[in-house]
Structure 1
Amino acid sequence: MTQIKDIYKIAVLLFFLSFFSCKNAETVEDLDGNIYHTTKIGKQTWMVENLKVTRFNNGDSIKKITTNKDWKKAEQAGYSFYNNDVAFVKEYGLLYNYNCLKDIRRIAPKGWRIPTEEDLKELESFINSNSIGIFLKEKGNTHWLPSNTVGNNVTGFNALPGGYRDEEGAFYMLRSNGYYWTVNGSFELYNWSDRMFQAFADVRRDSIFKRYCFSVKCIKEE
């Protein structure tokens, strides 16, 4: 009986989400000409694709950092792409360090911003499920490693496992985990879990994370 109730609860939730969340007709273009689709989840509007812009909003270039030696000593805003292989950019976007987020020139397109912890709480509250990760992950296993927690992407959020770059310049977790910046930290989705986490990187707790590189998914300013 408990299992039947759980199945019913999930079915109701899927209907609710499909009704109140939808792929928006709106698209956004960055300074490099990249086009991003959008999805509305509750009162929030999110970019579907990961950010891949290489310039700040004033037109200044963001520094591309490739070698581990340069990465370890980098104190300025910089970006990278997984394994320094440009082939990954089209689907996974770029990986940005924390200084990109804090730079007053801004990397989010006009009218958009980096999400806050409060934004994530609102997202979690709207979906209202311990299995929130399933509703946020890309549908199926095109990019994600096989697991028992395959995404259905009913929200249109389309989270991808773009991995990350650490303070030494090493790359990790492509196709396994997706790491996204928030204003002061990160949120993560793992291939083996149906949840969303926020415990990996907190720059207020440890400044070493300022030299980590994560994906960016922007949220629309209200």
Structure 2
Amino acid sequence: MRVNYMFWILLVGILHSSCTDYVAQVEDKIEEQEQNSTVDQSSSSGGAYSSSSSVVKSSDSVSRSSESSSGINSFEGILTDSRDGQIYKTVKIGDQIWMAENLNYETADSYCYKDSTSNCSKYGRLYIWAAAKSVCPADWHLPSETEWETLFNSVGGQLTAGKVLKSKSDWAGNGDGSDSFSFSSLPAGYRNSDGYYRNEGNLTYFWSSTDYDSDNAYDVYLFYGYDFASLNYHNKVFWYSVRCLKDDKSEQTQKSSSSAKSSSSSVAKSSSSVKASSSSKVVGTCGPDNFTVNEEYQISWKFTRNGSLSATELLSASFYWTFEGGTPDSASVLGIGGLSQKVTYATTGDYGASLVIDVAGDTYRVTCSPVHVPIQTVESSPSVKSSSSSENVAMGSMTDSRDGQKYKTVKIGTQTWMAENLNYETENSYCYNDTASYCDKYGRLYEWSAAMDSAGTWSMNGKGCGYNKTCSPTYPVRGVCPQGWRLLT
């Protein structure tokens, strides 16, 4: 048999040419995408990348599935939506595989921002929750609240998740992200229940599949001015963006929190929704290892309480806790001082709280009020020692001669501090919520002019310093402090 060598040489040449041309195309697209990421994409059409045409190289911090023989990174896949042929980038973060672009599949109840098709190409479509629940392609799904939390944990925690998940451009002010994980979240804005479009460039919302109650569902919120990512809930008749998550075949069918029922008013010990009563809203999800309360801005600190009332589980604390409906009582909400750990806030306010059980086994509802940002964690347990030496800490007291109030003091290192907030009443100072009991607990809140003693009542060093005034104080400034004490520099 005579071998046609010319045929085989020609065939090999064609195959080699085809493969190298494809690799070159992929490399060109990657290079083009990287170059475009440094360009200001202020235009909603020409400067924006298409949601169905580009290939992006995933972050070095994200695990790759394999390496091809050509040396090009093999991605978890370029997702092609078989329904309309659109192509989406995907990225693996931790053990999850996410779409790295917003979904742009058209349904009857979805919209382009400001009804502009160029915005759909840039941001994807905006979906009402009922449509979002089932809009993802085959083998993909709308992520649950818990799956969003898993993503936040994979990228370093919720307090910085916004920064690392936001795109490097298009956000207002100095709000661009680092896009450290190639998630490339853009400020797509949203459509409200009245049909008005809001906040393109400032923020984005992503739906979760978890409903809060019959009217509201959980969502993820990213804002140009914040580094954190917020888990919140809003009315289901808003139109938000959708990111789809690839199904995990190894897991059992996931149960949404909307179908999980509490067997009684007491806290369950298996994963289930927890309610204060059969008619109340879900306040959390209880599992054998933890208790997660449905709140905004969840962070990783764990609080517990000593005493006759005890936390049902270790609770994920949040920026702020208040009792739902009116002033809390001591039986249902724990004051910050009652916790074995407490948070020092930039501005004092209501109560720190956790979900507790009384002797009858009834649960009390709590809700998050995301008003204040924690500065640091302070250990308040009597057994906690100074990190350096207890010999460096000395307790004392002092009396304010102006009104006779007595304050605890503490010497830390070479400094002697008041160990309580000042509660001296002066003009332009207030009790929180105008309630005297809050002054007894937290001290008074002072305008800067009052803190500086701009009237010169006690000393002249801070005189004239007030709102919208330029001043040159003479240090140290006594301000509103008692005789022999001063404001911090």
- The alignment's TM-score, normalised by the length of structure 2, stands at 0.34
Residues matched between the structures, number: 172
The answer for the alignment partner of 2:156 in structure 1 is 128
The answer for the alignment partner of 1:95 in structure 2 is 126
Residue-by-residue CA offset, 1:133-177 (whole Å, 9 max, x unaligned): 1110012x2x21122x43111111111111111111111010110
Secondary structure in 1 matching 2:127: strand
Q: Which has the higher helix share?
A: 1
Query: Among the aligned pairs, what percent are the same residue?
Result: 28
Give 1:21 deviation, angstroms.
4.6
The 3 A distance-change label for structure 1 pair 101 and 25 is closer
The 3 A distance-change label for structure 1 pair 155 and 21 is farther
The answer for the alignment partner of 2:244 in structure 1 is 218
* Greater shift in the superposed pair: 192-201 or 171-180: 192-201
- Is 1:197 the equivalent of 2:226? no
2:192 to 135, 156, 166: 166
Secondary structure in 2 matching 1:20: coil
Give 1:42 deviation, angstroms.
0.3
The answer for the alignment partner of 2:166 in structure 1 is 137
Please give the alpha-carbon distance, in whole angstroms, between the structure 1 residues aligned to 2:63 and 2:203. 24
- Is 1:35 the equivalent of 2:87? yes
Alignment check: 8 A CA contact 2:76 2:97 kept: no
The answer for the alignment partner of 2:179 in structure 1 is 153
Alignment check: 8 A CA contact 1:21 1:39 kept: no
Flag structure 1 segments of 5+ consecutive residues without an equivalent.
1-16, 55-61, 64-77, 202-208
AA partner of residue 27 (structure 1): I
Give 1:45 deviation, angstroms.
0.6
Alignment check: 8 A CA contact 2:186 2:204 kept: yes
1:37-76 to structure 2, matched below 5 A, reads 37-54=89-106, 62-63=107-108
Alignment check: 8 A CA contact 1:79 1:96 kept: yes
Please give the alpha-carbon distance, in whole angstroms, between the structure 2 residues aligned to 1:19 and 1:195. 20
AA partner of residue 87 (structure 1): S
Please give the alpha-carbon distance, in whole angstroms, between the structure 1 residues aligned to 2:129 and 2:236. 5
* Higher Rg of the two aligned structures: 2
Q: Which has the higher contact order (CA 8 A, sep 6+)?
A: 1
Alignment check: 8 A CA contact 1:166 1:213 kept: yes
AA partner of residue 173 (structure 2): P
Give 1:131 deviation, angstroms.
1.3
The answer for the alignment partner of 2:219 in structure 1 is 186
Alignment check: 8 A CA contact 2:76 2:92 kept: no
Give 1:32 deviation, angstroms.
1.3
* Structure 1 ranges of 4+ moved more than 4 A: none
Flag structure 2 segments of 5+ consecutive residues without an equivalent.
1-58, 65-72, 212-217, 249-489
